[in-house]
Amino acid sequence: MADWIFVIAISAGVLVGTMVLRRLLSRHVVYKGHILLTGKTVIVTGANCGIGKATTLDFARRNARIIMACRDLAKAEKAVKDIRKVTQDGQLIVKHLDLASLQSVRTFCEEINREEKQLDILINNAGVFQCPFSKTVDGFEMQMGVNHFGHFLLTNLLLDLLQKSTSSRIVVVSSALHKRGNINFDDINSDKEYSRSKAYADSKLANIFFAQELSQRLKSSSVNVYCVHPGMVWTNLGRHVISPVVRWLVSPLASLLIKSSHEGAQTIIYCSIDPELNNETGLYYGNCKTESWTPTAQNVIAAKKLWDLSESLTGLNKKTL
C-alpha cells in the first residue's frame, strides 16, 4: 500500500511540475507589436468576460472601434465600465447577440450590415464549456449550437462586409481539446448519447474544420482566416464544471498552472493584427506562433461534410463562395 501511495505521489508531483514548467514557458508569451487600429472596425463575440474582454481591452488601447457582441447586455455594459477604468482610447459599442438563436444572429447581422461600411476583424470567441445537456432555440445541442453553428452563420452573413475592406481577418478560437473530438454526423445534436466533455471537444473540432474550409473558399479574396488555441485559461468558462467554492479554493494554485485572460488573449491579438501574417491563411496558432495541425484536424472530407450540413441546418441562403 505504501508503495502505491509513493508512486501516486511521485506521478502527481511530475504532473504538477510539468504543468508549472509549461506555464512558466508560456506566461511570458506576449504580443509586442505596436500596431494601432485607428479607423478599423472589429467585432468580438463574448466580449464581456474572459479572453474576449481582454482582447477588447487590447484593441481599445490600439484605438480600434470595437463592437462587443454579447448575449448579456448588463454584463457587457459592466465590461465597458471596467475597460474605461484602464483606457479612454478606442470606441466601444455594445450589441446584443445570442449565438444560441439563429434569429438573433440574423438580426444582429442585418443591423451590422445596415450600419457599417466595412468590417476589418471578426473574432469568433464566445463559447460554452461542458454544460449540462440542453438545446438551443433551434434544437441544436448547446455546445455545438453556440460554439459552431452560431458562429458559422454569423461569419457567412458578414462576409460581404468583410470583403469590403482592403484586407480583413477572421479569427476562429478553438481549443487544443479538439484532438479529443470525433464528430458523429448521425447524432450531431447528441440525442442518442451525450457527454459534456466529448460534446465540447466535438464543437472545437467543428471550429477547426470550419476555419480550414472557410479559408479554402476565401483564398481568392482579401479575407484571411486564422485558427487559434489560447491554451488553458482561467476564466468563467468552466462555471459548469467548477463550483464557486472550489474555484475560490483553487484560485491561488490556478494562477501558477493556468494562463490569465490577458495571457490567453495574446495569440488572438497576434493573429488579428500582426503584419507578418498578411499572406497567411488557414493555419493553426498557439503562443503567438504557427503550430502543426493535429492528425484529428486533418480530415478534409469531414470538413466539407460539416460545411454542407451547417449550411443546410442554419438555413444559410447565400451564394457559393
Catalytic residue positions? 200
Give the span between the Cα atoms of 40 and 33, in whole angstroms: 16
Backbone angles phi, psi at 204, to 5 degrees: -75, -30
Count helices and strands in the chain by DSSP H and E runs: 12, 8
Give the span between the Cα atoms of 303 and 307, in whole angstroms: 6
Grid cell digits, residue 2: 505504501
Give the span between the Cα atoms of 34 and 63, in whole angstroms: 12
Grid cell digits, residue 168: 480583413
Contact 202, 181 (CB under 8 A): yes
Q: What is the DSSP letter of 135?
A: B
In the three-class reduction of DSSP (H, G, I as helix; E, B as strand; rest coil), residue 175 is classed as coil
Give the span between the Cα atoms of 267 and 286, in whole angstroms: 6
CA trace torsion 135, 189, 180, 170 (10° rounding) = -70
**DSSP character string of 242-279:** S-HHHHHHHHHHHHHHSB-HHHHTHHHHHHHH-GGGTT
Q: Annotate 41-67 with b (16+ C-beta within 10 A) or e (fewer).
A: bbbbbbbbbbbbbbbbbbbbbbebbbb
> Residue 227 belongs to what H/E stretch?
strand 223-228
Give the span between the Cα atoms of 59 and 268, in whole angstroms: 11
* 169 strand-pairing partners: 121, 224
Q: Is 118 exposed, middle or buried (0-12, 13-18, 19+ CB in 10 A)?
A: middle
